[in-house]
A = this chain, B = another copy of it.
Amino acid sequence: MDETVFSYPMKVRDYECDMQGIVNNAVYQHYLETARHEFLLSRGLSFAELTARGIVVVVVRAELDYLRPLRSGDSFEVTVQARRQSRLRIEFEQHILSAAGQAFLRARISAAALDADGRPLRSSGLDTLLRVAEA
Contact = CB atoms under 8 A, between A and B. Distances in A.
B18 A14 contact: yes
Interface residues of A, number: 42
A56 interface: yes
Contacts of A47: 14, 72
Interface stretch (A61-69, A79-87, A126-134): A61-69
Protomer copies: 4
A4 interface: no
Nearest to A25: B59
A27 interface: yes
A51 B19 CA distance: 7
B30 A26 contact: yes
A37 B14 contact: yes
A46 interface: yes
Nearest to A17: B19
Contact of A18 (B19, B26, B52, B65): B19
A26 B14 CA distance: 12
Contacts of A24: 15, 33
14 contacts: A13-B34, A13-B37, A14-B18, A14-B48, A15-B24, A15-B26, A15-B30, A19-B48, A20-B56, A24-B33, A25-B58, A48-B72, A60-B65, A61-B63
